[in-house]
A = this chain, B = another copy of it.
Amino acid sequence: MGDKGRPAPKGRVPATIYDIARITGVNPSTVSRALNQPGRVSASTEQRIREAAADLGYRTNPMARALPTGKTGTLGLLVSDLTNPVYFDLVRGAERVAREHDTMLVFADSQESAELERSTAERLQIAVDGLLLVASRLEDAQIQELAAAKPLVAVNRPVPGVPSVAPDVRPGMIEALDLLHGLGHRRIAYLAGPEASWMNGMRWVTAHDLAVDRGMSIAEIQSSAPTREGGTDAFAAVMAADVTAVLAYNDLVALGLLGACLEHGVAVPRDLSLIGFDDIFGADLSAPALSTVRCSWGDMGERAVAKLLGAIQDGDASGAELNLPTEFVSRASVAAPGR
């Protein structure tokens, strides 16, 4: 480990339990006990040890601890696209709970690629105590395989036998469709997201069923990507569909489509009503402000981490599913059909 010739690495060497042991005249094992199992050593020794530790500015070396215990004190969070504003709140919620439990969060981004997701998950898995898979593009079997190796919680996508946290789209969607129906819309469209996304399928099926229940026709329109560009690109297809309202896969797509509408002189909501999903940052900024089906991503992040920590602690492999309700947020992008 000699630093041969290299410019000397910076910083003083951090103190170890051996340093504390030497100073206080006890055995390293006693130091370890004093610091981690209060009451396991005599009060006076513990006192001396704690003081010495504070003096030296001792901090447990997580790597050294991880070796014998197998616990790294970190969780991995793998999302499909870190750039997507939806994940802001999720990340924040996750971070909050993790911090509360003295756990670090490692992030990674799979760039919407299943293959990259799998390899990243595998690499990540060895360095963490558990994995959070958000909006996974993997197949059920692949996820189950990962879950067999280490605790894993699927977010935004239920997987049989694997614990998961996901929004329940029905409540919000019912509100949305009731509103559209009440306003007189009869021909609507669903602007789809990525095919590999479970959530996309879920939204389409739910929207479809609810629309049919209400005697509305609903068309499915493909989009090139779950981004603003994807929404913009779909403009022509939406126009061709001859509908009075569009439910978009998410707010990003909806905002992209909204921009294209304005650009082409299609008035929203007079000529076309628009509803998004997720209530991301910025959804209330657009003109008109975007109506959307909201789910509390912050909550999802918190619940998911809590669940994962629980699974880690008691080796729980139960595949319990947790569903958080959604709600419709009514803004200016929806109105009665104009003609």
Contact yes or no, A85 B281, CB < 8 A: yes
A218 shortest CB reach to chain B, Å: 27
With contacts A95-B82, A149-B12, A150-B11 taken as known, whether A62 is within 8 angstroms of B282 at the C-beta atoms is no
Contact B61 A126 (CB under 8 A): yes
A260 to chain B, nearest CB (A): 13
Query: Which residues between 1 and 33 of chain A lie within 8 Å of chain B, taking CB atoms?
Result: 1, 3, 6-12, 14
Flag the segment in A47-55, A206-214, A234-242, A311-319 that touches B.
Answer: A311-319
0 or 1 for each of A116-160: is its CB under 8 Å from B? (1 = yes): 000000111011000000000000000000011111000000000
Complex CA gap A151/B7 in Å reads 13
Which of A24-77 touch B at CB < 8 Å? 59-64, 66-70, 72, 74
CA distance A235 to B9 in the complex (A): 51
Size of interface on A: residues with Cβ below 8 Å to B: 58
State in angstroms the CA–CA spacing of A192 and B294 once bound together. Answer: 32
7 contacts across the A-B interface (CB closer than 8 A): A1-B68, A14-B126, A74-B106, A83-B89, A85-B281, A95-B109, A281-B282
Interface residues of A (CB under 8 A from B): 1, 3, 6-12, 14, 59-64, 66-70, 72, 74, 82-83, 85, 88-89, 91-92, 95, 99, 104-109, 122-124, 126-127, 147-151, 255, 281-282, 285-287, 314-317
